[in-house]
Structure 1
């Protein structure tokens, strides 16, 4: 007997399918986050042995490997085999794990092509599709762009600067996908992690989500702000958790701190008191060398990783040594400028919703934060913006490009902007752009390295205060540095040595990486600006 489905029944089934399938997909992704493979927790002694030997030159490799069997089975096999004569740890790992996927192995760059064309050809190469891969990778519902090299996952603050180039390339759909992925992470994890890996979920990164929404709103209209308001409010709650419980007796909790006059500002933090899984051996060695409480060192290392500036003399008590890291004792000027912008964005969202009381609330919060930044992070003697030292109750007086954030977000006074511009010109400006700090420590977020996001924020901050000649000089030198390396090597890299013409950057925990998401985004935007000025 034939079963005939009526047109009406078919239509009902079709619409039911359209409703249920997204719900099932959403539930599946949420379950995936909660049940994510966590190598640093599930492999126990095997994980430590692999990282401390080390089996791989880069500690991140093993955290990204894909297990071929359930972790408990692999661990059981390890316990049975490790004491046998001739046991080969690397051979064991290669038997039970797949190496992380290698992407773009067939991509051939052509340095004779214009660099803008090269960047546009890289977007598909750096784009990843939703993947069910059973690894430490947290699956995302939509496509996204990765930085490149060892960075096989999405990164939070990188993505904003990558989006500048995607916007210039007309890749609005991809920007939308990435914003939706970050919204998904806020709704499932509770915040945007450092990257979409299980070993990153205990920390975030500089909160640029509100700025991403501004990019999307410019392309698709201000209603974007209204639709993402609940998500941004959740992110704000993550950064401000515990603020209402602070007092003079209890002045700090996680990412919030109470200043002597009662002002509330923020710092970087991580609840986890263990070595970072992706840099396990390195963190253990630093903690041992420090002579300090190891858990405190691990927290400060992780907090610096949350800052994105991992690592810099900015965070060092002695200005020289990673062992003297003390990130959680500092109130970062740039972080608080970002949260000022988040509060203004929440106020704008409330305005669009015609919620006047909520709008007034967030504008008051933003103004209070602005006043606190000007009070605690500005130094008349140093004529610059610095981080605030909670322990010494004064500015840190370590000059870094984080000091341009109050210009980028239009917090500084005209006189302060003039003073910052003068120090940038006199001390930070090199032949290839701006140096990140004035200290040479061998760390990657110190001199002689320059980084695309900091060049962009400096250039835009100077332009906001009408310092166009200096802004144009920085932009021109940075573009030339990028192009010279590209023409010589066919690569755009993560960072550059701005003290030497045409030289790549170096230092830090790993070799300089090519790809490279945020370099591509900023360079493409600056090239477009130069073209319009001609």
Structure 2
């Protein structure tokens, strides 16, 4: 079956300074995923869409900067009640009149973000496992859900699970950890639906975006698609690898775009970084360089505080969002302040480990001998480079490398466990990393994200479900079972304690003082919660 290109893509232009960059389509031939009718409906519904900051211009900027809504994501998720031209004509006609009320105008022309009525209530009568399993239908959104041409939601051809709370759309890397729970719960059809949705996005957008919103299209998130395919293959059989091979290749092509252009004079292009000896590794990199629509005010204030070039800082902020760690002081030049953010200067062990896994999977399952050899070579070279450039013999841990200085950032985080999680390191390094985890990261409620409290949500004292899972699995991969079991037990106890108190599973947890809520970030702690539910079920039933 030939791939069907999404008609709207050539028309979505992201204004980045003096340049206009469109998102390129994938070159791989698509696997047969959703039915043609459902794909066609989703394609037609997304034609010509642009993000709300470009659609609504001055109105958008005023709503966000005047903080009409406490959460900047509220406005970008609201559903326009009229066409863009009608709304902007009304705004231009009314904004200068005496008594003009921006909030009233906004609420007149925009409906609240879509939230299906579920009738759900959590009163503590269920056990934590019963609570999680009862939540799956509450967090599931139907195929084709659409908000009209001016809305920011991108329709998908299959049903999908959202994280919960303010997150009303599917998220790329969250979904792998949600799938672990769906797998444990035996929801194979929904696992397939979600894998097919991501394959669809790869085919139509050219990469898997941060989420299915127009304002997320300039970036991806940590590349976990290979792991999702692996989950589906565990449920359905090895033929799944061949079915989704075109999208696995498309994922790799997206992250390696620019590898033919890097040189000693131009060492970084898009996601690709050339180290001094010619070795290629990767970084997080957002194609856009304007403040994020969903966090516009926060980004504008950070840019102003920095005193640096606005487009450069905006790209660092957006690239930090692509990392999934938005934010951690691992991205900050001074280790403290977001105004010093330098995300694209960092070559991180987490991203490169995930790409090693992707290359190893293609090498193991591609039907052509030549391709298998090519990707075996790629994986071998990347593994050697990760050990050579990202393992620090002084700290005995994998670290972020600032490629512009050639030095480690010396900011230890749980990103250092990813090489163990993907099973690419030798036993000596694994034992050393395990000792560092036990000595420095282990806390009463799990493992802390970093060793420093900065007020950022991806730092201490917070613990995050995906990092608990990957740390445990990484240690288990090398028979470091004692520490892995301690982390599992402490994390699950932490989840159960919070659930007993508030009848909710939340997005993140305080692992140092388990009597306190987790904090930091640009929004309050969210409940639901997709990846928390998935990791808890997988730890409880699939350990």
TM-score normalised by L of structure 2: 0.92
What is the distance in 1 between the residues matched to 2:123 and 2:481? 34
| Higher Cα radius of gyration | 1
What is the distance in 2 between the residues matched to 1:142 and 1:108? 26
Describe how 1:166-205 pairs up with structure 2 within 5 A. 166-205=182-221
The aligned counterpart of 2:251 is 235
Q: Identify the match of residue 450 of structure 2 among 417, 434, 437.
A: 437
Shifted more, 389-398 versus 488-497: the winner is 389-398
What is the distance in 1 between the residues matched to 2:58 and 2:71? 19
Shift in CA distance, 242/217, structure 1 to aligned 2, threshold 3 Å:
same
Instruction: State the Cα deviation string for residues 230-274 of structure 1 (Å, max 9, x = none).
Output: 111111111111102221112110000111111111100112110
The aligned counterpart of 1:487 is 500
Describe how 1:445-456 pairs up with structure 2 within 5 A. 445-456=458-469
Q: Identify the match of residue 147 of structure 2 among 133, 137, 162.
A: 133
Q: Identify the match of residue 164 of structure 2 among 115, 131, 148.
A: 148
The aligned counterpart of 2:345 is 329
The aligned counterpart of 1:265 is 281
Q: CA deviation at 1:421?
A: 1.0
The aligned counterpart of 2:81 is 68
The SS at the match of 1:503 is coil
Does residue 498 in structure 1 map to residue 472 in structure 2? Answer: no
Check whether the contact 2:272–2:282 (CA below 8 A) recurs between aligned residues: yes
Check whether the contact 1:42–1:72 (CA below 8 A) recurs between aligned residues: no
What is the distance in 1 between the residues matched to 2:341 and 2:288? 16
Q: CA deviation at 1:31?
A: 3.2
What is the distance in 2 between the residues matched to 1:204 and 1:94? 31
What is the distance in 2 between the residues matched to 1:443 and 1:175? 32
Does residue 307 in structure 1 map to residue 320 in structure 2? Answer: no
Check whether the contact 2:283–2:344 (CA below 8 A) recurs between aligned residues: yes
Q: CA deviation at 1:105?
A: 6.1
What is the distance in 2 between the residues matched to 1:489 and 1:25? 40
The SS at the match of 1:203 is coil
The aligned counterpart of 2:225 is 209
What is the distance in 1 between the residues matched to 2:374 and 2:36? 35
Unaligned runs of 5+ in 1: 1-18
Counting helix residues as a fraction of each chain, which structure ranks higher? 1
Q: Identify the match of residue 249 of structure 1 among 221, 241, 265.
A: 265
Check whether the contact 2:446–2:488 (CA below 8 A) recurs between aligned residues: yes
What is the distance in 1 between the residues matched to 2:295 and 2:537? 32
Q: CA deviation at 1:302?
A: 0.2
The SS at the match of 1:148 is coil
The aligned counterpart of 2:11 is none
What is the distance in 2 between the residues matched to 1:501 and 1:303? 31
Check whether the contact 1:485–1:503 (CA below 8 A) recurs between aligned residues: no
Check whether the contact 1:378–1:395 (CA below 8 A) recurs between aligned residues: no
Q: CA deviation at 1:427?
A: 1.1
Q: CA deviation at 1:25?
A: 4.1
Instruction: State the Cα deviation string for residues 459-500 of structure 1 (Å, max 9, x = none).
Output: 000001111010000000000000000011000000000011
Unaligned runs of 5+ in 2: 1-31
Shift in CA distance, 25/165, structure 1 to aligned 2, threshold 3 Å:
closer
Check whether the contact 2:184–2:542 (CA below 8 A) recurs between aligned residues: no
The aligned counterpart of 1:28 is 41
The SS at the match of 2:46 is helix
Q: CA deviation at 1:392?
A: 1.5
The SS at the match of 1:265 is strand
The aligned counterpart of 1:11 is none
Q: Identify the match of residue 318 of structure 1 among 334, 351, 354.
A: 334
The aligned counterpart of 2:529 is 516
Does residue 292 in structure 1 map to residue 325 in structure 2? Answer: no
C-alpha RMSD over aligned residues: 1.4
Aligned residues: 508
Does residue 219 in structure 1 map to residue 232 in structure 2? Answer: no
Q: CA deviation at 1:39?
A: 1.3
Does residue 525 in structure 1 map to residue 541 in structure 2? Answer: no
Check whether the contact 2:160–2:190 (CA below 8 A) recurs between aligned residues: yes
Check whether the contact 1:481–1:503 (CA below 8 A) recurs between aligned residues: no
The SS at the match of 2:251 is helix
Q: CA deviation at 1:410?
A: 1.4
What is the distance in 1 between the residues matched to 2:289 and 2:84? 23
What is the distance in 2 between the residues matched to 1:510 and 1:443? 11
What is the distance in 2 between the residues matched to 1:97 and 1:114? 39
What is the distance in 1 between the residues matched to 2:365 and 2:529? 33
Instruction: State the Cα deviation string for residues 133-188 of structure 1 (Å, max 9, x = none).
Output: 22200000000000000000000000000000000000000000000000110111
Describe how 1:395-434 pairs up with structure 2 within 5 A. 395-434=408-447
Shifted more, 25-34 versus 335-344: the winner is 25-34
Q: CA deviation at 1:112?
A: 4.1
Check whether the contact 2:146–2:153 (CA below 8 A) recurs between aligned residues: no
The SS at the match of 2:486 is helix
Q: CA deviation at 1:73?
A: 1.2
The aligned counterpart of 1:378 is 391
Instruction: State the Cα deviation string for residues 89-136 of structure 1 (Å, max 9, x = none).
Output: 000001001010234663111324221111100100100002132220
Q: Identify the match of residue 343 of structure 1 among 351, 359, 375.
A: 359
Q: CA deviation at 1:528?
A: 1.2
The SS at the match of 2:453 is coil
